[in-house]
Amino acid sequence: MERATATRQTRQRKLVLETLRSTKSHPTADWLFEKVRQQLPSISLGTVYRNLNLLRDAGVIRELRVHGRTARWDADTSPHGHFICTGCGEVRDVMGLDPYDWQGLKDLVGCQVEFQRCEFYGLCPKCLRRRERQS
Ligand SMILES: [Zn+2]
Ligand SMILES: [Zn+2]
């Protein structure tokens, strides 16, 4: 590979990762593309996707396949669950719940857990207030 190409690819990957790490909103690839493009106008959506997939395969980031919705991306790879608002689609982190006791699970079933996903669905505080105002 040409050196200039390799440098450009490294720069693109770094920028995609930095942009994802700058937010807690679990953004879509489209959102990341819009942000990254402000700093690197020549980048394409396909390149953003390719880098997200590479970073996911390397275990640096997590892909969140929320049921029936576009994939979201998470720079936090620590074991945690997600609350997904069925009203506005907001994704919030859920930390510190017991199902994240991987060692305990291993002792219990004798299997090596490699990853887990835990999703809660419902209404976020904003959507709850909106619903209360309407009723
Ligand atoms: Zn909501
Ligand atoms: Zn998360």
Q: What is the pLDDT of residue 1?
A: 59
- Say whether pLDDT at 66 is over 70: yes
82 Cα to the center of ligand 2, angstroms = 6
pLDDT tens for each residue of 100-129: 677 777 788 888 877 777 888 999 999 999
Q: What is the 3-state secondary structure (H, E, C) of 74-89?
A: ECCCCCCEEEEECCCC
- For the CA of 122, the nearest ligand: 1
Domains of the chain (ranges plus CATH)? Answer: 1-76 (1.10.10.10), 78-135 (3.30.1490.190)
Q: How far is the CA of 30 from the centre of ligand 2 (A)?
A: 18
Return phi, psi of residue 18, to 5°.
Answer: -60, -40
Give the distance (Å) from ligand 2 centre to CA of residue 75. 7
Residues in the chain: 135
Q: Are 101 and 118 in contact (CB under 8 A)?
A: no
pLDDT of residue 42 exceeding 90? yes
The arithmetic mean of pLDDT across residues 28-33, rounded, is 97
pLDDT higher than threshold 70 for residue 99: no
Residue 96 scores a pLDDT above 80: no
